[in-house]
Chains A and B, each alone.
Chain A
Amino acid sequence: MPTKQAKTKKLAMEVKNLSFSYGNNRILQGASLEIENGKITTIMGANGCGKSTLFSLMTKNLVPARGKVLLYGRDICGMQLSEFAKKVSIVHQYNTSTDDITVERLVGFGRTPHRKLFGGCREEDMQLIEWAMEVTGITSYREREVAKLSGGQRQRVWIAMALAQNTKILFLDEPTTYLDIRYQIEILNLVQKLNREFGITIVMVLHDINQAIHFSDQIIGLAAGKVLVKGAPGNVISAECIQKLYGIELGVTEIDGKKFVLTV
C-alpha cells in the first residue's frame, strides 16, 4: 500500500484508457497517460490527432465515453466545476472580454472559485491578485483597458487570471498561437518560471515541435487517438518518432546535447 500511495502522490493527474467519439468519428481510443507533479508536460501531435479533445476531457469541458481522468486519485467526473476550479486553472486558446474592463478587474475574476456568496474582496484575494500581476509582469498597466493591450500583453493577463486561482496545476491550450516569435518565447519563459519558481504543474498543448522539446520535462505524443510516445523529450524525440507523429520525414540534429527538429 505505501508504494501505491507514494505513486499517487507523485502524480497530479492520471488518464486511464480514455475514449471519446463525435458520432461515428472516434477521436480518442483508449489513451492512457500520467501527469507528474511539478513537471511541465506538453501534449503534441498532428492536427486531428485528438489533442484538443484530450485537453477538453482533462479540463472537464467534455465527458469521456469510456475511461476516466483522475485528479490526485479522484475521478474528475464526480467533481463540481467550482471544486475543480480550485485545483486546476486553465488558459484557453481563444479568449474574449468586454473592451472596457481593466487588467486588474480581469485578473480579479480568477478569484471567482474562492469567493463566497456575498463575500467581498478579502485580503487574501487582493494579495493573490497582486502576486499574479507581479509574476506575469503586468502590474505597470493594471488600470489599462484590456482592449488597449497588445497580443502578448493580453496573453499575460489571461495567464495572470488563471494564476489568481492559486491552483497547483495550470493547463494552457496553445498559449503561443496568435503571437509573434518574441512573445512566444516570452510566454514560454514565463511558463517555465511558474514551474521552476512556484512549483506549478504545467500541462500544455504546443504546435511548435522545438518549443515543445525545449520547454518540457515530459512529452506526450498523440497519433490517431492513441498515445504514441511519452517521456522526456531527450529520450523520445527522434526522426522516426516525428515520422510516426506527424507523418513527415524531418531531420533531427543535436546541438550542445539538445535535440532540434529541422522543421523546414
Chain B
Amino acid sequence: MKQRNRDCGQDNPTLGWQDDIRRKKNKKVRAALSFLVITVLMALLFFAAINIGSLQVGVTGLLKGLFVEYDPNVAAIWDLRFPRIIISMLAGAGIAVSGVLFQAVLKNPLADPGIIGISSGAGFAAVLVTAFAPQWYFFTPLAAFLGGVIAFLLVYCLSWKGGLSPLRIILTGVAADALFTGLASAFNSMSGKDMSGVAAIVEANITQKTWEDVSTLFPYIAAGLFLAALFLGECNLLSLEDKTARSLGINVNTTRICISLIAVLLASISTAIAGAISFLGLIVPHIGRILVGSDHRALMPFSALAGAFTFLLADTIGRTAAAPHEVSAAVVMSVAGGPFFIVLLRRSKKYAS
C-alpha cells in the first residue's frame, strides 16, 4: 500500500518537483518585481503629478521650496495640488482594497464597490447630508458609510435566492447603482447645480479639495486598511467552500459580515470625499492576481499600492488631457474600465455562463 501511495506522485510524469520549485521561484520573482515596479512608478507619478499644470517648479525647486525657503509657487502647489494628489492616492487604495474584500466575500471576481452600487449608495447619502445639513459636514463620512451599508444590504438581500449567484449580484448591483446615481444626479439638478458640495460628489470632482479633506479621509482609510490587514487569513480561507472553512473553525457568516463592513467603510469614505469611481476596485485586484497571485497577503498590499497609482494616474490624465478643462478621474476610469470589464466578462467562462 505504501508503494502505491508513492506512485501517486508520478501521476503526471511531465511535472517533477524541480518544475514545481522552478515555477515557485519564478512566481516569487515576478511578485517581487511587481512590487518594486509599482513602487517606483508610484514615486515617479507622484512627482510628475506635482509638476503637471500651470505651475511648474521641478523636483529640486519643490524640495527647496518645501524644506529650505519660502517659494510662492511651491506654496500654491502645496495648498492646491498636494491635497488632491494625496486624496487620489488614499481613495484609490481604499477603493482597490474594498474591491479585493468584496471579491473575497462574494467569491466573485467581478464584484466592485462601484458596480454593485455601494459607492453610489454612499455618494447619495453624502449628497443628502451636504444638501440638507451642511452644518453636519463633519458627519458626511459617517452618513456615507450608512448609505453604503444600506446599499450593500439591499443588493445582498435582493440577490439572495438560496445562495448568491455571482451574476445575480452584479445585475442587482447594476440596478441599485443606477438608482442611487440617478437620485444623486436628480438632487444635483434640482439644486440648480449651484451647490458645489453636492456637485463635487456627484461629478467626482476633486479639484477643490483642501488639506482639511485629507485629514477627514486619512484616519478612515488608515483604519480601514488596518482592519483589512487583520482579516488577510480569513480572506484566504473564504476561497474554500463554506463548509470546508467552517470545518476549520471559521464562522463563515460572521466573517463575511465583518469583512463586508470593512469593504463598505473603505468604499463609502472614499466616495464621500472623492466621488464614485467605477471599475477601479475591479481592474486593480484583477491585475494584481495575475502579477502577485491570489494569496491575500500579497494581493492586498499590492492592490493598495496599485489602486493609489491608478487613481492618481486617472486624475492626472484627466487634468492634462484637455487642459485647461478638466475631466474627472471617475470619467477617465469609466472610459478605460468599461472595455476592460467587457474583456473580463468574455474571458471568464465561470461567471458569465
Q: A140-B9, A189-B4 are in contact. Are A148 and B248 (CB under 8 A)?
A: no
Knowing A61-B243, A90-B247, say if A143 contacts B11 (CB, 8 Å): no
Cβ contact within 8 Å between B249 and A86: yes
Q: Within the assembled complex, what's the spacing in Å between the Cα atoms of A25 and B23?
A: 52
Binary interface encoding of chain A residues 94-130 relative to chain B, with 1 for a CB under 8 A from any of its CBs, else 0: 1111111110010001101101000000000000000
A143 touching B17, Cβ below 8 Å: yes
Q: Does B294 contact A (CB under 8 A)?
A: yes
A102 neighbours in B (Cβ, 8 Å): 24
Contact partners of B295 in chain A: CB under 8 A: 98, 100-101, 105
* 8 Å CB interface, B241-294 against A: 241, 243-244, 246-251, 293-294
Q: Which residue in B5, B24, B239, B246 is a CB contact (below 8 Å) of A60?
A: B246
Distance, CA A113 to CA B236, complexed state (A):
14
CB distance from A163 to the nearest CB of B (A): 12
Please report the C-alpha to C-alpha distance between residue A55 and residue B9 in the assembled complex, in whole angstroms.
31
Q: Are A143 and B21 in contact, with the CB atoms below 8 A?
A: yes
| A156 in contact with B249 given A96-B241, A98-B294, A143-B17 (CB within 8 Å) | no
Closest CB of chain B to A79's CB: distance in Å?
Answer: 10
Of all chain B residues, which has the CB nearest A138? B9
Interface residues of A in 150-205 (CB under 8 A from B): 150, 152-153, 156, 158, 162, 165, 186, 189-190, 193
Report A-chain residues with C-beta under 8 Å of the C-beta of B322. none
Find residues 18-36 in chain B having any chain A CB closer than 8 Å to their own CB: 20-21, 23-24, 27
Q: How far is the CB of B105 from chain A (nearest CB, A)?
A: 15
Q: How far is the CA of A189 from the CA of B243 in the complex (A)?
A: 25
A193 vs B1: C-alpha distance when bound (angstroms): 9
Would A113 and B9 count as touching, CB distance under 8 A?
A: no
Whether a CB of chain A sits under 8 angstroms from the CB of B347 is no
A136 to B39, CA, bound (A): 42
A141–B241 CB distance below 8 A:
no
- Judged by a CB distance under 8 angstroms, whether A85 is at the interface is yes
Q: Assuming the A-B contacts A92-B243, A97-B239, are A144 and B6 also in contact, with contact meaning beta carbons closer than 8 angstroms in the complex?
A: no
| Nearest CB of A to B220, in Å | 23
- Indicate whether B49 reaches chain A with its CB closer than 8 angstroms: no
* B237, CB-defined interface residue at 8 Å: yes
A81 in the interface (beta carbon within 8 A): yes
Q: Which residues of A contact B8 (CB under 8 A)?
A: 137-138, 152-153, 156, 186
Interface flag for B12 (CB, 8 Å): yes
Please give, as numbers and ranges, the residues of chain B lying within 8 Å of A83 by CB-CB distance.
Answer: 249
* Contact-residue bracket for chain B: 20 to 34
Given contacts A81-B251, A98-B294, contact A137 B241 (CB under 8 A): no
Q: Is B240 an interface residue (CB 8 A)?
A: yes
What is the interface residue range for chain A against chain B? Answer: 35 or more
Residue B343 CB within 8 A of the other chain: no
Contact for A112 among B20, B23, B250, CB less than 8 A: B250
- B247 partner, pick from A59, A141, A156, beta carbons under 8 A: A59
**Smallest CB gap from A102: residue in B:** B24
- A141 near B9: Cβ-Cβ < 8 Å: yes
Does A3 reach chain B (CB closer than 8 Å)?
no
Q: Is B15 an interface residue (CB 8 A)?
A: yes
Say whether A82 faces chain B, with CB atoms less than 8 Å apart: yes
CB distance from B231 to the nearest CB of A (A): 11
A97 touches B9 (CB 8 A): no
Once bound together, how far apart are the Cα atoms of A152 and B5, in whole Å?
11
Q: Are B248 and A112 in contact, CB atoms less than 8 angstroms apart?
A: yes
A260 within 8 A of B: no
Say how far B28's CB is from chain A's closest CB, in angstroms.
11
How far does the Cβ of B228 sit from chain A's closest Cβ, in whole Å? 15
Q: Which residues of A contact B21 (CB under 8 A)?
A: 143
Q: 1/0 per position for B31-47, CB-CB distance to A under 8 A?
A: 00000000000000000
B15 touches A95 (CB 8 A): no
Max chain B C-beta neighbours (<10 A), residue from A83, A112, A136: A112
A143-B9 Cα distance, complex, nearest whole Å: 12
> Chain A contacts of B250 at CB under 8 A?
81-82, 112
Chain A residues, CB < 8 A from B236: 109
- In the bound complex, residues from chain B placing their C-beta under 8 Å from that of A94 are 241
Pair A190/B5 contact, Cβ less than 8 Å? yes
Q: Give the 7 A-B residue pairs with the shortest CB-CB distance, closest first.
A: A85-B249, A137-B5, A82-B249, A113-B249, A143-B20, A90-B247, A140-B9
7 contacts across the A-B interface (CB closer than 8 A): A61-B246, A81-B250, A84-B249, A100-B293, A140-B6, A141-B15, A149-B11
